[in-house]
Structure 1
Amino acid sequence: MSRKLVGILVMAYGTPDHIAELPAYYTHIRQGRPPSAAQLEELSARYQAIGGSSPLGRVTRAQADGLAAELQARFPDTGFRSVVGFKHARPFIEDAVETLVAQGIRTVIAVVMAPHDSGSGIRPYFDRAAQAAGALGLTLRPAVSGWYRQPGFIQFWATRIRTLLSSLPLAESRRTLVVFSAHSLPMRVLDGDPYPTQVRESADLIAAAAGVGNHAIAWQSAGRTPEPWLGPDIRDVVRDAWDSGAYRNFIVCPIGFVSDHLEVLYDDDIECRSLIETLGGRYLRPPMPNADRGFISCLADAVAGSLGQTERIAA
């Protein structure tokens, strides 16, 4: 008797693999409206500043492979096949679902590589996956989202914060502010949305686990549109903390993200670092989760937990 096959659909925002793909990528983000020459030039300059391309695609594939391997080790009676689907780049979410069908898989577990839930930010991934799965006769298991409470996720960040703090002299550690950040969203989409509350709860859980008393919550990477976005912006938080005279070192923890990509490598490591160092301070950032084994294990915990009793995976 052949064992049951379960597909793991790992979804992420997506990124162009090469600068030449930027126009199509940006046009897709803008729902078919091509960017202006100035907008394209600015985005191209950001990618050039981080080496010409983002590692997001490579990292997401490594995360998907690691998750399937971890689940396979835990549930040997079930065969797991992972595939990556992106929101704004190929392979798209729909392409990934078709790949699973071609592999003979009829049951799919979907997970987004973002720890906090959001109606406008995360739910569209699951909506697209569900629509594609339904059209092809797939069974889509309960969505895996809002997994920021997973002990492994909390400990990942807490351990790395403690490591950075322990590398500083005691007097300097007392002048260090831990800044937890996540992607900003337009205020118009946040009425009743759990996202801001989950991010704040996440920051508080990590700070408590790390034994950190001095921490702040900030928002980053807001779109350049005239409408109001969720704040305060991370740069404003840094300036205010510096002006208070209490802090001279800043540990930036982008807990809303789980991999190295443009928003971390440029918005934090270049723009935020530049501000802090211009002020005269020290910028520190822990490594991102990427495909860290402990992080992958916590993802597997979330997948198993979302299904209720773990034996249901093999049902």
Structure 2
Amino acid sequence: MAAKAKCDAVLMIGFGGPTRADEVRPFLDNVLRGRPVPLERYEVVVHHYDLLGGRSPYNDLTLRQAAALRAELEKRCAQIPVTVGMRNWEPYVADSMRVLADSGARRVLGFIMAAHRCEASFERYQATVNDALATLGEAAPEVVYPEPWHDHPLFTAAVASRAREAYSRLEFPERSRARLIFTAHSIPLAMAQVGPYVEQLTQSARIVAADLGVDTWQFAYQSRSGSPRDAWLEPDIKDALSNLDAKTAVVVPIGFLCDHVEVLYDLDIEAAQVARDAGIRMERAPTVGDHPLFIEMMASIVAAHAR
């Protein structure tokens, strides 16, 4: 096995989210970056944030993951600083990278907070990092990235543990009849066809289902955006629930690492209403968040890269 590149620091790289109501519109403007989105669609998304308190928990949850990672690394006596940088809101990647460079970091482990890779979930984050490095010039550290970890046994065990939390809310006879549905963010079909996204999601789901001892499961997608004229990954979770041949569903958002707005609204409000209308009991598993097994996985990857 090739030796891991040894790093001076870790930068956890996330999407970011607004932390107050007055940040929602500037945040959405950042995300859209001038893309033509109908005003009515824009206002619908603003309303989603309003329903959830006018903010996103994304930053808080990612910072909690970072704090848990630092604590786990201290237990392992791995002396390496961990910081957070976001693509679309403060703390921005460029600002966090500048702080690392000023502190003397020469090689940084860029830990992109997405388990399954496509252009939207991986390459765009790398491009953001490259833009930040370009502004630093000669002071810029080198950035390396971990190998794919969608099938890491600690990650899949953490997902399975969260799924068991949902199953535990069901009475025993109902558990055996519940349909297991995994979800992830939908992406354009053209993007999916040139990357490993669907394959990696399927690998993760297959491992988790086996861990749970479930033979029959299905995959659905959520949080679609973009032009309705373009083909995106299907089926949508709402359609999957509407057509379900069972009266109970356990929904596991395996493609998300924390319970942010796209999970809280798209599943807990929108999909849950569809399930109720169809006479289906839906139990949604939490995302991995700061589950100890997921943090242990991150720490093991970081420790392998630490000087």
Paired letter, 2:292: R
Please list every run of 5 or more consecutive structure 1 residues that lacks an aligned counterpart in the other structure: 305-309
Does 1:229 pair with 2:251?
no
Q: Distance in 2 between matches of 1:108 and 1:20?
A: 33
Deviations 1:38-81, CA, capped at 9 Å, x for gaps: 233211210111222111011111112222332233244xx322
Could you tell me whether the CA contact under 8 Å between 2:66 and 2:82 is conserved in 1? yes
CA 1:102–1:250: 2 relative to 1, 3 Å: same
Question: Secondary structure of the residue that 2:301 maps to in structure 1?
Answer: helix
CA 1:234–1:136: 2 relative to 1, 3 Å: farther
Does 1:313 pair with 2:306?
yes
Q: Distance in 2 between matches of 1:40 and 1:64?
A: 31
Q: What is the 5 A alignment of 1:1-315?
A: 6-33=8-35, 37-76=39-78, 79-133=79-133, 135-144=137-146, 146-225=148-227, 226-241=229-244, 244=245, 247-304=246-303, 310=304, 313-314=306-307
Q: Distance in 1 between matches of 2:302 and 2:130?
A: 17
TM-score, length basis structure 2: 0.90
Q: Distance in 1 between matches of 2:169 and 2:120?
A: 39
Deviations 1:191-240, CA, capped at 9 Å, x for gaps: 33100110011111100011112211111101141211111111111122
Q: Distance in 1 between matches of 2:159 and 2:118?
A: 21
Question: Secondary structure of the residue that 1:84 maps to in structure 2?
Answer: strand
Number of matched pairs: 299
Question: Secondary structure of the residue that 1:258 maps to in structure 2?
Answer: coil
Q: Distance in 2 between matches of 1:151 and 1:5?
A: 24
Could you tell me whether the CA contact under 8 Å between 1:64 and 1:84 is conserved in 2? yes
Question: Secondary structure of the residue that 2:180 maps to in structure 1?
Answer: strand
Q: Distance in 1 between matches of 2:62 and 2:168?
A: 31
Deviates more, 1:196-205 or 1:82-91: 82-91
Could you tell me whether the CA contact under 8 Å between 2:154 and 2:297 is conserved in 1? yes
Q: Distance in 2 between matches of 1:224 and 1:119?
A: 15
Deviates more, 1:289-298 or 1:229-238: 289-298
- State the 1:125 CA deviation: 0.9
TM-score, length basis structure 1: 0.87
Could you tell me whether the CA contact under 8 Å between 1:150 and 1:302 is conserved in 2? no
Paired letter, 1:63: Q
Deviates more, 1:56-65 or 1:27-36: 27-36
Paired letter, 1:128: T
CA 1:5–1:187: 2 relative to 1, 3 Å: closer
- State the 1:136 CA deviation: 4.8
CA 1:39–1:167: 2 relative to 1, 3 Å: closer
Deviations 1:241-272, CA, capped at 9 Å, x for gaps: 1xx3xx11111111110101011000000001
Q: Sequence identity, in percent?
A: 31
Could you tell me whether the CA contact under 8 Å between 1:117 and 1:145 is conserved in 2? no
Q: Distance in 2 between matches of 1:47 and 1:181?
A: 21
Q: Distance in 1 between matches of 2:41 and 2:243?
A: 30
Question: Secondary structure of the residue that 1:250 maps to in structure 2?
Answer: strand
Paired letter, 2:253: P
CA RMSD, 1 decimal: 2.1
